[in-house]
Amino acid sequence: MSTTTAIKAKQRPGDRVFSGSAVFAGSMILVTLAAVAIFLIVQSIPAFFATGEDASILPTNFWAYVGPLVFGTVWAATLALIMAIPVSIGIALFISHYAPRRLASVLGYIVDLLAAVPSVVFGLWGIGVLAPAVQPLYSWLVDNLGWFPLYSGPVSGTGRTILTAGIVLAVMVLPIMTAICREVFLQTPVLHEEAALALGATRWEMIRTAVLPFGRSGIISASVLGLGRALGETMAVAMVLSASGAVTFQLLTSVNPSTIAANIALSFPEAYGMNVNVLIATGLILFIVTFAVNAFARWIVSRRKEFSGAN
Amino acid sequence: MTTTTKPDTATAVPIENSLTAGRLPAPAPWIILGAAIAVGAAVFGVLALAGNEFNWGGALVVGALLYIPSIWLFSMLVEGRRRAMDRLVTALVTGAFVLAMIPLISLTITVVTYGLARFDAEFFSYSMRNVTGEGGGALHAIVGTLLITGAAAIISIPIGLMTSIYLVEYGRGRLARGITFLVDVMTGIPSIVAGLFAYALFSIFLGPGTRTGIAGAVALSVLMIPVVVRSSEEMLRLVPNELREAAYALGVPKWLTIVKVVLPTSIAGITTGITLAIARVIGETAPLLIAAGFTASMNYNLFDGRMSSLPVFVYTQYANQGNPPEAYLDRAWAAALTLILIVMALNLIARLVARFFAPKFGR
């Protein structure tokens, strides 16, 4: 289409209007993202210099307030990823290389159904089903493995700890990570796989030597995209986690750090005055962090051009 | 591939078959799995005799955990180290899939059983105005969800579709590359940040504390536009170039080619993508909680006053429990069930459109 021709094509008004509106729509994307950044920055500038006297939710200054939240956000997302990465690679391998061919697409669809469940429903489920179900396990861990720093007590009576929030987050990021891993695994050159099998490799050896090296960048970008999702997930964490704002690595106690997103959702409806600006400023920090994480993931994906990415 | 054992050659022939020698017989994994679950059941059976309730979940989990080392051990004894490793990985990979199914099944069962308690006519015909305690319904939230999501769709679909047309048909050079990159990044914007953006936008122009349905719609469109762009772009790229060239050769202008040839060819895929995008944003809670707020009354006006939506209704019913709390929780679960049914219906429609209206390329 882009071949240069000597003859200039006739310009019709319809063409101009149409291409003009297409360019306009495209630029709207740039405008929207710029507007998101600008409005958040404008609203949060006052908060950066606020003290406990200006805004009632600040202990001393803004950074002392946002620090524990950043820690909680990163810690919860890390826990989620530690659980989600091996499981999602396993599911992707199961669908791409182990399940019967005819079942594979149905199984993929079933995993995608998890992505369709709204996060507020995950929150309800986390409180109503998951937390009571894992609480006995937590007591057991504290009683028997309490010497291990992460498991030290006293155990939370409700089960609504950072680990439960991490489990819910892991379930929520599983579908997107599985979808990307699955797509890369399916793109492994069949000749490589057949060559490995022909040399007498078992199925696992074939996967280890042909599929996993080929899919490494896909696995990495899936993990980073999952990290972006886990960092920004709001309602499930806000509902499941019973947060106290402390900075602690302990997984099973009732003293848990909150996350930025959950803290905004919980505090925003009742916020007034400068508190609103403080909360928007924490949102700006979340925006910058997730923007960087996602840009990094896309950069990894774009280094491998043949893999188009499973949004 | 590794399990090429044919049952007839394995059982009937008395001479040892060199192909199947040194292999576990085909049903062996199932027998081991059954034995492992039986052991798990026995363990919990003993516990049940001691007075605890019999724990089915625990029995299955212990069985599965027992199966993984035992299949490795048996395979190690009969088949050697390499095949044992293969069996172990097969068990682990299958286990990962089963593990992911547990929350899905548990969630479905929970939502249906708890949700049916208040899934009645009153729930769909009453708002929460002047309701404390039992009774009441979510009509205001359902109307709000439909209005806000509809407005978000009206904003997002033209922008998203035209952007994808720009990227596929017109876009060259730095602007197109920049837009592609930013759309990808926009897909990952946390939903709460979109809500904060809409709130900041409207509070700067309309005064602080403004919460309206249209602000929620703007927040949702920030989340929806990139999804629409990505899916429509993919569909437009699937249209064969020969179709475009044939149209140009007949002297059809470019914009008419797009409207009359490219779009009709890809309309099924685009519809699927848009439906899935709607399904994605209809369950968003955080941005609506911040930008649109919540109310107990009906509100049909997007531009005036707070507006409830189903996900926010679920959250507020759970978070602000009154007396008796069961009434509030029942309403929350019923709204969750309604929400899941809507999302599933949208997903189903999307799949059906993709299946039945896809163009036939004669491949």
Cβ-Cβ contacts under 8 Å for B350 (sequence gap 6 or more):
B271, B272, B273, B275, B276, B279
A269 burial type by CB count under 10 A (0-12 exposed, 13-18 middle, 19+ buried): middle
Q: Do A204 and B85 touch (CB under 8 A)?
A: yes
CA distance B123 to chain A (A): 18
Q: What is the pLDDT along chain B (363 residues), one digit of tens a residue?
A: 455 545 554 455 455 666 666 777 878 888 888 888 888 888 888 877 776 667 777 778 888 888 888 888 888 888 888 888 888 999 999 989 988 888 889 999 999 999 888 888 888 888 888 888 788 888 999 999 999 999 999 999 999 999 999 999 887 888 888 888 888 888 888 999 999 999 988 888 888 778 888 999 999 999 999 999 999 998 999 899 999 999 999 999 888 999 999 998 898 889 989 998 999 899 889 999 988 888 888 888 888 888 889 999 999 988 888 888 888 888 999 999 999 999 989 988 988 888 887 666 544
Q: How far is CA A181 from CA A77, A94, A135, B180, in A?
A: 19, 11, 32, 22
Chain A nearest C-alpha distance from B301 (Å): 21
> Rounded to whole angstroms, how far apart are CA atoms A159 and B53?
21
3-state DSSP helix/strand/coil percent for chain A, to nearest 5?
A: 75, 0, 25
**A chain contacts of residue B104, beta-carbon cutoff 8 Å:** 110, 113-114, 117
Asked if residues B209 and B290 have their Cβ atoms less than 8 Å apart, the reply is no
Contact B184 A294 (CB under 8 A): yes
Q: Is A171 on the interface with B (CB under 8 A)?
A: yes
ipTM given for this complex: 0.85
Subunit contact A121:B196, Cβ cutoff 8 A: no
**Which residue in the set A21, A91, A205 is minimally distant from B82, CB to CB?**
A205
Residue B182 and residue A202: Cβ atoms within 8 Å? no
**Residues of chain B found within 8 Å of residue A42, distances taken between Cβ atoms:** 200, 204
Closest residue of chain A to B340, computed from CA coordinates = A117
Q: What is the pLDDT of residue B232?
A: 92
Give me the count of residues in chain B.
363
CB contacts of A311 in chain B (<8 Å) are 184, 187, 227, 230-231
CATH topology of domain B139-356: MetI-like fold (1.10.3720)
Nearest-neighbour CA in chain A from B190: distance (Å): 5
Counting beta carbons within 10 angstroms of the beta carbon of residue A101, is it exposed (0 to 12), middle (13 to 18) or buried (19 or more)?
exposed
Using the Cβ of B158 and the Cβ atoms of chain A, whether some distance falls under 8 Å is answered with: yes
Identity of the residue numbered A38: I
The verdict on a CB contact (< 8 Å) between B315 and A120 is yes
Domain limits, chain B: 7-117, 139-356
Residues with Cβ within 8 Å of residue A296, at least 6 apart in sequence: A224
The whole-model pTM stands at 0.86
A128 touches chain B (CB under 8 A): yes
Q: Are A263 and A69 in contact (CB under 8 A)?
A: yes
Distance between A68 CA and the closest CA of chain B, angstroms: 19
Please give, rounded to a whole number of angstroms, the shortest distance from the CA of A211 to a CA of chain B. Answer: 14
Please, are residues B254 and B332 in contact by the beta-carbon 8 Å criterion?
no
- Ordered by where they begin, the domains of chain A are 21-303 (1.10.3720.10)
* Residue carrying the six token digits 């729509």: A25
